Amino acid sequence: MALLTLQGISKCYQQGELQVNALNDINLQVEEGEFAALVGPSGSGKTTLLNIIGGLDTPTHGRTLLNNTDITGLKEAELSNFRLFQLGFIFQAYNLVPVLSALENVELVMVLQGRSAEEKRERAEHYLQLVGLQDVMQRRPSALSGGQQQRVAVARALAAGPRLVLADEPTANLDSENATALLDIMHRLSHEEKTTFIFSTHDPRVMERAERIITLHDGKIVSDECHQRHDEPTV
Amino acid sequence: MSKPHSHLPLTILFMLAWRNLWRHRRRTLITLTSIAIGFGLAVLFIGIGDGSHNSMIRNAIKLGEGHITVQPKDYLQAPANHKYLSDGLSLSAKLNELNVTGSVAARISLQVLASTASNSVGAALEGFRSNSDQRQAMLQPQLIEGNWIEAGDHRGIVIGDGMARKLKAKIGSKVVLMAGKQGGDSQAQLGRVRGIFDSHVDELDDYLILSDLQFAQYFLAGEGAIIEQAPVTRFAVFLDDPDTMAYWKAQIKSVIENDLVVALDWQEMMPQLVQFIIIDDVGNYVFLILILIMVVFGIVNTVLMSVLERTREFGLLRALGLGRQHLLLLVFCETLLLSVLAVIIGWVVGGGTHWWFSQHGIDFSALMPEGTAMMGTFMDPVVYTELSWDRVTQLTIIIFVTTLLSGIYPAIKAARVTPVEALRT
Ligand SMILES: Nc1ncnc2c1ncn2[C@@H]1O[C@H](COP(=O)(O)OP(=O)(O)O)[C@@H](O)[C@H]1O
Ligand SMILES: [Mg+2]
């Protein structure tokens, strides 16, 4: 059984008289451990799809099965807990709580999970080290560069031990050097931690680092192909 | 983890709330300052109100019939010359046995007609031990002419300047005091003016005739009283500590009250004064409500603004797995901390203001050139603010509850944030 199965997902938005079909009959399976890119031009439905997979939004039609759970049938509080224990999120920007240090940001999700103080401290430090931020752990987000902030978000997502990490244009606010560096970190950790990643992008240099590229256009999947990565130029 | 759920320990909640509070240091400080100033003003106004009312009450008690009055049962409803305590001697003995911490004054009140060659006016004759009564302490310093009644002076009277004008009486003038008897006859006694006072309380200056107890007792004798039993109209009990009134009232009631005699406290004796103070307090409460409205706006504005500008952050937290209830709690905690700080700072400012004015007083004489008399009593022109512990708890609870209530709306607003919409911005 695949980790993620989307069955006939559609999403319509009513905009006054106009009906916008943001997603149109999406069928998709993602296996455990995949490192998949969701690509397509702006407005093609990437964010909408990621939000539905993450249980942040509900589809108009169709079902989302994640780790054998039909999340379209969950109540709001159940979804909230589902996200906490099963999912990691990385957004385009403002990923971090400004009043918390990098370390505290990574710990926060584990606090909510109810992990012990030692465990969460140990894991937070471990993952911040893996993303190369051991020297700036005590800094608040405002004292970190954009690339560093995104790496904190990656550490936070992984430290919580999720089944699936969803990243909506995680590199959109980064220069290409930082963007490829972030992707390489994500890719490496995905393999080391055996964690499934789905990230969206419209940057060709970023998408070529994916192992699978799912292309959306006008809310439909227009291509879905496995991709041979040219390994591993920078770390 | 069979049924995993999210934990948000209070320590983390308060840590987040505290840090969020200081994200906009200046905004928070301005809010706190305005609340503190408002609160300080409220404490000051209430302190002035309580201070002036208590001053009026103290003076009313001194000029009047004490903290507790022992008198014939139906005297208050319908005062009359023939209503008196015929066996003053034994009542006085019973009161003395109680060892009240304070003083007990025997007094006689009579309605009389005062006449000189030029005029006749209705008057209240007040007989008391002229050398040991509270009235002496109050009114002797107000003498503008002549002297106080000396001990053993059976004919001497002291009158107010208003009465003296009406009677065209001077020091040494003879005044005939006439009183109706119960049967319908009348009796008269001759008094001689020894002194004239000016208390600035018209009710006293125009109406009061003071004499020694013995002089007034002649009238009671005319009503059939036996002088040897020391008949009086009442005993006025002055307490050293007004807070012990309820205790002493109960004690006195238990020994003297019967079908003919009652013990009343000053509130029962002067219901109009109590009414006046209640009405006057309404003004202070209106002011307090205005302050509270200001506080509510300050807090709602500060917290709501911070909620609205953090929409994205709330969306993020919701995406990470915080429940609505967590955001509700978080914002409510921020209000709670703001309100605790406001109460503390408010008390420092309000308490400080109060303390200063309780020591130095506020001089109202310039504001009240016609004098400070009202309701048959007067307010000391320099008011020292007063603040009782009851007021402190009352104000603290009011301000605390108000601030917490103002946190409800912003908290709900934060809990309503949906991640999708928040993150799209
Ligand atoms: N809340 C909404 N109301 C109306 N239309 C929306 C809303 N959210 C998204 N859309 C529309 O859905 C389509 C897909 O949007 P989106 O998923 O954000 O695309 P992408 O992330 O690929 O840029 C767009 O046409 C967008 O205008
Ligand atoms: Mg998008």
Give residue B126's pLDDT: 92
Q: Please check whether residues B253 and B279 belong to one and the same domain.
A: no
Q: Is residue A233 part of a domain?
A: no
Q: What six digits make up the tokens of A228?
A: 């041979």
Residues in chain B: 425
Residues in chain A: 235
A48 to chain B, closest Cα gap in Å: 9
This complex has an ipTM of 0.91
A96 to chain B, closest Cα gap in Å: 8
Q: What six digits make up the tokens of A32?
A: 């455990």
Q: What six digits make up the tokens of B8?
A: 């948000």
Query: Would you call A203 exposed, middle or buried from its count of C-beta atoms within 10 A (0-12, 13-18, 19+)?
Result: middle
Q: What six digits make up the tokens of A98?
A: 């400004």
Question: Domain end: B191, B225, B258, which one?
Answer: B258
Please give the helix or strand (H or E) that residue B342 lies within, else none: helix B324-360
Give residue A133's pLDDT: 94
Contact assessment for residue A183 and residue A209, using Cβ atoms and an 8 Å cutoff: yes
Instruction: List pLDDT tens digits, range A204-227.
Output: 888 888 999 999 999 999 999 887
CATH code at position A217? 3.40.50.300
Give the range of the structural domain holding residue B401, as residue numbers without chain letter: 10-60+274-424
Contact assessment for residue B229 and residue B40, using Cβ atoms and an 8 Å cutoff: no
Instruction: List pLDDT tens digits, range B232-248.
Output: 999 999 999 988 999 99
Q: Is residue B5 part of a domain?
A: no
Q: Please check whether residues B282 and B415 belong to one and the same domain.
A: yes
Instruction: List pLDDT tens digits, range B181-205.
Output: 877 788 999 999 999 999 888 888 9
Contact assessment for residue B281 and residue B394, using Cβ atoms and an 8 Å cutoff: no
Q: Is residue B149 part of a domain?
A: yes
Question: What is the Å distance from ligand 2's center to A62 Cα?
Answer: 21
pLDDT class for A35, splitting at 50, 70, 90?
very high
Give residue B2's pLDDT: 45
Mutation to probe ligand 1, out of A10, A12, A13, A58 (largest number of atoms < 8 A from CB): A13
Give the range of the structural domain holding residue A177, as residue numbers without chain letter: 4-95+163-226
Q: Please check whether residues B292 and B362 belong to one and the same domain.
A: yes
Q: Please check whether residues B251 and B228 belong to one and the same domain.
A: yes
Q: Is residue A62 part of a domain?
A: yes
Question: Domain end: B191, B226, B258, which one?
Answer: B258
**Overall domain count for chain A:** 1
Give residue B7's pLDDT: 82
Instruction: List pLDDT tens digits, range A54-110.
Output: 999 999 999 999 988 899 989 988 999 999 999 999 999 888 999 999 999 999 999
**Overall domain count for chain B:** 2
Contacting residues of B for A93, CB less than 8 Å apart: none
Sheet-wide strand order for A164-168: A87-90, A164-168, A196-201, A35-39, A212-217, A220-226
Instruction: List pLDDT tens digits, range A160-206.
Output: 999 999 999 999 989 989 999 999 999 999 999 899 999 999 888 88
Q: What is the Cα–Cα distance from B45 to B43, expressed in whole angstroms?
A: 6
Contacting residues of A for B319, CB less than 8 Å apart: 54, 56, 83, 89, 91
Asked if pLDDT for residue B71 goes beyond 90, the answer is: yes
Please give the helix or strand (H or E) that residue B256 lies within, else none: helix B245-256
**CB of A13 closer than 6 angstroms to any ligand 1 atom:** yes
